Amino acid sequence: MSRIIMGIESSCDETGVGLVRLHDDGAVELLADEVASSVEQHARFGGVVPEVASRAHLEAMVPTTSRAFEKAGLKLSDVDAIAVTAGPGLAGALLVGVSAAKAYATALDVPLYGVNHLAGHIAVDTLQHGPLPTPCLALLVSGGHTQLLRVDDIASSITELGSTVDDAAGEAYDKVARVLGLPYPGGPPIDKAAKNGNPAAIAFPRGMTGPRDAKNDFSFSGLKTSVARWVEGATRRGEEIPVDDVAASFQEAVADVLTMKAIRAAKEQGIGTIVISGGVAANSRLSSLAAERCAAAGIELRVPRPRLCTDNGAMIAALGAHVVAAKRPTAPLDFSANPALPVSVVSL
Ligand code: KG4
Ligand code: ZN
């Protein structure tokens, strides 16, 4: 008999509730994916304000849950198991989702799973492209994370190969957007401006690509500073800032390093599939360059549609379904959220 899994996400500024059906053959089908975002409340601060995010989760949790059940045409009593993001993320924000999940699991008397947000970003791809070939290599690029991961089993075995030593890729987009006078979050407006710019106009640095640098790690803070210096210099000289060219050149530097390192790691690990996920995976240049380079290297590329790439509840429901299918243990009802949960811990 198929089972209904509810997923709750509240690690950052998106309150997400997802519902999936886990079929007997292990296939996972998306039924509902409702998201309430507090992004507009953070825009004037240029970044997420944790206290504001927590309060917004509290207000959005019940209405978002109701909408998800309405969309799926299901009742709360149809739920067979609940998965919630246990970490990593903002402590106060995580707490709201974990508390809600515990309340629903107790009231409905169903098993509860505390799962890893980062693993959720990878698991979500199965909703669109079916089971993940294993092993596969995941490039996770969001506002908070930039990581290369080896996935041997989405329900139980993920190994970090490398990560950023400073800013996350999305954070670099957000900071560069601010320098260019573009709105927050910076990814979408930079992506748009870059379409009219010349990616070769300015040679911005490719961080951590020297012979002595850790191969699988990333650095974006030098790139961000370099863009800021370039803009300051032009402003001092009274020149008009060619926003489109700066955006395109910055974006090229990011996409170049991300794709080069992901493909190199896949080749070294003997892995034939790369999955790119997280908010920055929505970037048009990242996906086109990745497609080009993966094709040349004979590597299969999987990128979930943008809506699934950014934070949502369906990714947590999808991961929950894989964890349930793998018969992993449930979380004790007194478990705590862990803001620094390592990616190697797929479920608590
Ligand atoms: O995964 P996500 O929704 O939240 C986190 O877990 O951080 O990612 C948000 C990040 C933001 O930094 C945003 O600027 C970036 O994803 N982003 C993009 C694009 N759309 C969103 N970055 C580059 N290009 C885009 N099209
Ligand atoms: Zn995320």
For residue 14, give the ligand nearest its CA.
1
pLDDT of 43: 83
* Nearest atom (ligand 1) to Cα of 168: 12
For each successive 10 residues of the chain (348 residues), what is the average pLDDT?
Answer: 97 96 97 94 86 94 98 98 98 98 98 98 98 97 95 98 97 96 95 98 96 96 98 97 98 98 98 97 96 98 95 98 98 96 96
Q: How far is CA 60 from the centre of its chain?
A: 21
273 ligand 1 Cβ < 6 A: no
pLDDT of 231: 98
Ion ligand 2 neighbours, Cβ < 5 Å = 142, 311
Check if 3-124+312-325 and 136-306 are the same fold: yes
pLDDT of 130: 97
Which CATH architecture group holds 3-124+312-325? 2-Layer Sandwich (3.30)
What pTM was computed for the model?
0.95
Backbone angles phi, psi at 338, to 5 degrees: -125, 100
Could you state, in order of their start, the residue ranges of all structural domains in the chain? 3-124+312-325, 136-306
* Nearest atom (ligand 1) to Cα of 117: 6
Residue 234 burial class via C-beta count within 10 angstroms: exposed 0-12, middle 13-18, buried 19 and up: middle
Residue whose C-alpha is closest to residue 278's, from 194, 170, 193: 170
Q: At what angle do helices 169-179 and 187-194 cross, to 10 degrees?
A: 70
Ligand 1 center to residue 195 CA distance, Å?
17
Mutate to test the pocket of ligand 1, among 11, 45, 142, 309 (most ligand atoms within 8 A of CB): 142
For residue 308, give the ligand nearest its CA.
1
Ligand 2 center to residue 197 CA distance, Å?
29
pLDDT of 46: 80
3-state helix, strand, coil in the chain (%, to 5): 45, 20, 35
Calpha distance 11→31 (Å, rounded): 22
Element (H, E) at 35: strand 28-37
283 ligand 1 Cβ < 6 A: yes
Backbone angles phi, psi at 135, to 5 degrees: -75, 160
What's the token pair of residue 206?
Answer: 């490719």
| Four-point Cα dihedral 120, 124, 130, 134, nearest 10 | -30
- Could you list the beta-strand ranges (E) of 188-270: none
Ligand 1 center to residue 280 CA distance, Å?
4
85 ligand 1 Cβ < 6 A: no
* Nearest atom (ligand 1) to Cα of 306: 20
125 ligand 1 Cβ < 6 A: no
Nearest protein Cα to ligand 1, atom 19: 187
pLDDT of 67: 98
Distance (Å) of CA 27 to CA 2, 61, 80, 150, 307? 10, 27, 16, 22, 20
pLDDT of 47: 83
280 ligand 1 Cβ < 6 A: yes
Which CATH architecture group holds 136-306? 2-Layer Sandwich (3.30)
120 ligand 1 Cβ < 6 A: no
